[in-house]
Chain A
Amino acid sequence: MLPASTKDIKMAEEIKLFKVKIDNISVEVEPGTTILNAARKIGGEVVPPAMCYYSKLQGSGGKCRTCLVKVSKGSDADPRPMPKLVASCRTTVMDGMEVANITSPEVLDARKGVVEFLLLNHPLDCPVCDQAGECHLQDLSYEHGADSTRYEFKRRTFDKVDLGDHIKLHMTRCILCYRCVYTADQLTEKREHGILGRGDASEISTYISQSLDNDFIGNVIDVCPVGALTDQTFRFKNRVWFLKPVDAHRDCENPKCCGKTVLWMRGDEVFRVTARKDKYGEVEAFICDTCRFDKKEAKDWIIEGPRKIERNSVISQGHYVNTVKPKDPLVDVLDGRQPKLLFDIHSESKVNRPDIDLSKINGPAHSDDFKK
């Protein structure tokens, strides 16, 4: 009996937990928890998707509206339902609250609408986008998007911008989640970028054409849910699902950097370094730019072992059987001779003319276009 009573006393000392029901699943959470975090405590399908909320960034969330849920009962004290759908990432739970996420057709309909809005001006250039395979928008549209778009107009485009040596901004893909702005605000010494303009013309930008070179600014690449901010040292080097992520660490000189990273390797080559992300795509701890951009040798790191990847991710398709770089078979085929460059296709071919810009040709290219 004694252990039970001590347990009782201990329980009484703790703060009273709020009972919340999300899609008829009960969960007890601390007061002040948001609906989204309560749902994450349950896990599984009831977790609303979040494109702009980031638990490590203060003040984030509420903007993308993908996490809208229906509060069918406000609390035990005030059982009235909330009149509108609420952003679950910014609404705190009340005792006795009942929330409908995937059980509410209204929520699913609204979410479908939001996904359509997010994709409205998105270029859908996943085949050439470095983020493909680890893109939240890709996952979101796969789960909640429509088969085709109803948008018949020209999509808005922006020029690509170099934000310093390491970061490329491709604003056309941006969904304006503001995560990078909060990251720069809260992690780096000074924020040099933000949102310029208004409405659908608003853009992430620096004022005017600054380069971002703070110690921790590389983290904006990790927090970006889409391919708007990409790593210049990794751009177009490889598809992420061909790489083998391994956990690694090093003693970083920067006191604020944890030094715990994921190396994306192929054979013994390190293609890129990122922070470790949890199953919601949020980094566990931020890393400094030295770790991210400058330590691209396997010898810089102490490799811990393969990174656990969620089974539903395309990255989990990679198996760790060939950790050595595959041998080039060409030399064997040629009986040990080294391959010789016979001719450069650009100089030989009649149609491969770099001076003709295919995108400037009206309609499909015709042989006449190359005779000029």
Chain B
Amino acid sequence: MGRKLLLDKAHIEGIRYYDTYRSNGGYAAAEKALKTLGPDGVLDEVKKSGLRGRGGAGFPTGLKWSFIAKPEGVPRYLVCNADESEPGTFKDRYLMEFIPHLLIEGLLISSFALGANSCYIYIRGEYAWIPDILEQAIAEAKNKGWLGKNIQGTGFDLEIYVQRGAGAYICGEETALIESLEGKRGNPRIKPPFPAVKGLWQSPTVVNNVETLAAVVPIINIGGDEYIKYGTGKSTGTKLISACGNINKPGVYEIEMNISVEEFIYSDEYCGGIKNNKRLKACIPGGSSVPVLPANLLLKTAKGETRMMTYESLADGGFATGSMLGSGGFIVMDEDQCIVRNTLTFARFYHHESCGQCSPCREGTGWMKKVLQNIEYGKGKMSDIDLLWDIQRKIEGNTICPLGDAAAWPVAAAIRHFRDEFEWHVANPQESQTRNFGLAHYADPLPAPTPAAV
């Protein structure tokens, strides 16, 4: 059994409510932070822990917090990004639904460290029932003196507000989230200035993912030095992985970042293998926007090492032969899945969710969708594959926010690793409507590199 830090008490009945949470050691970390550590102590512990942002980019949280500007007389804000809209990712939902007090305790400690007296949870509109759970938990915590004025007699004030989004993926981007929170159209802002300097209502703001803020609680409980003993290298601690696709046991798993991808897919503790004893074809290890990997590159890196469930190992080989841990939306595809179809689904999603502010993303995502639609429905041409490659190349890196990159990467990776399947679709338009390309050679062992002829 892997060690757990976030979900270790998730099985306890009634943990959603304050009394059960408190009697199982809840709010001990908040007490420790408020009464003994102080704001700088909390920041030190988080820095020591090596905690990295769990929303996708993996930016060190302690470093992010230390960037926040501290001008006199200007309020600072903490915003919790609960706009979890990435296809394949549903870990934050689990956390908020079952242990809301863990998040609230995390918010309390983080706000205390940052000196923020107002904190916002921006939650996606589709999670219609969760704001009620959170608001109930906030009311309970307020009743018990963990929120409001003069918390536990320490003189620290904090209010937490829950704000529902209207169901736009783009509002998960931190500056678009801030715009939306201000009541404006959810368009990403042009950076700089970064939110740490001018964020919500032009005040210094830190935006963190739900899981990141919840992970602050165990860090304070056990201490940053103990936390780095979990995981491997720079990927410290535990990570929630929302596994889905063709696996026997889909769900949210907390893993310590020291297991291999193979173990995660095939062990009974986690995914329990591929459904119906099919073979693994491909996997998207970190939510829809990260590059898809064929089976042979997923389990072993191009160098022949075992691929681990860590930030570094999954990114090993760059985009040529690697992927990203991303937000932990682990999508497994068996031999019956069609990569072209899957890529079209993603392209359609990004086209639908593009905010339309900058031209490469607004026009390019729709174009990619239409070209992919032609290939998928047997109307494609061979030149379309190169055209797709060219479109994604011209979107990537040229947009205001990372949504352009997120739209370009899945298409790029699908063509890079599964070009044969695209070509088969174009060459056999009739057949491609009735059957799939199948596993083909995508699970074959990689050819051993031959030394160059002298």
- Interface set of A (CB-CB < 8 Å, partner B): 61-65, 68, 84-85, 87, 90, 109-110, 113-114, 116-118, 120-121, 150-151, 153, 175-176, 178, 194-195, 197-202
A84-B398 Cα distance, complex, nearest whole Å: 7
Q: Does A200 lie within 8 Å of B366, measured CB to CB? A: yes
Chain B residues near A85 (CB, 8 Å)?
397-398
Instruction: Find the B residue at minimum CB distance from A87.
Output: B190
Contact A200 B400 (CB under 8 A): no
In the docked arrangement, what's the CA distance between A65 and B357, Å?
10
CA distance A117 to B357 in the complex (A): 13
- Does B131 have its Cβ within 8 Å of any Cβ on chain A? no
Contacts of A116 in B (CB 8 A): 394
- Chain B residue numbers with a CB within 8 Å of A178 are 357
In the assembled complex, the Cα of A90 lies from the Cα of B168 at a distance in Å of: 26
**Could you say which residues of chain A place their CB within 8 Å of the CB of B366?**
199-200
Closest to B370 in A: A153
Can you name 7 A-B pairs with beta carbons within 8 Å? Answer: A84-B397, A85-B397, A110-B394, A195-B356, A198-B168, A199-B352, A200-B362
Q: A117-B360, A202-B355 are in contact. List 7 more A-B contacts (CB 8 A).
A: A63-B400, A65-B398, A113-B398, A118-B363, A198-B352, A198-B353, A199-B365
- Which chain B residues lie closer than 8 Å to A90 at the CB level? 190
Q: Which residues of B contact A (CB under 8 A)?
A: 168, 170, 185, 190, 351-360, 362-367, 370, 387, 393-394, 397-400
A90 to chain B, nearest CB (A): 5
Shortest CB–CB separation between residue A110 and chain B, in angstroms?
Answer: 5
Known: A120-B367, A176-B362. A197 touches B356 (CB 8 A): yes
Judging by beta carbons under 8 Å apart, are A200 and B399 in contact? Answer: no
Chain B hits for A84, CB < 8 A: 397-398
Q: For the complex, what is the distance from the CA of A110 to the CA of B366, rounded to whole Å?
A: 18
A113 and B355 form a contact (CB under 8 A): no
Task: List chain B residues, Cβ under 8 A from A118.
Answer: 359, 363
Specify which chain B residues have a CB less than 8 angstroms from the CB of A68 in the assembled complex: 398
Decide: A199 and B370 in contact? CB cutoff 8 A.
no
Contacts of A195 in B (CB 8 A): 185, 356
Residue among B185, B394, B397 with max Cβ neighbours from chain A (10 Å): B394
Task: With CB as the reference atom, state the residue of chain A lying closest to B381.
Answer: A152
**How far is it, in angstroms, between the C-alpha of A120 and the C-alpha of B387 when the chains are bound?**
14
| In-complex Cβ contact of B355 among A61, A151, A199 (8 A) | A199
Q: Which residues of B contact A121 (CB under 8 A)?
A: 363
- The answer to whether B362 and A65 have CB atoms under 8 Å apart is no
Could you tell me if B354 and A63 are in contact, using CB atoms closer than 8 angstroms?
no
Complex contact B364–A62 (CB within 8 A)? no
Whole-angstrom distance between the Cβ of B391 and the nearest chain A Cβ: 8
- State whether A176 touches B360 (Cβ < 8 A): no
Interchain CA distance A247-B356 in the complex, whole Å = 38
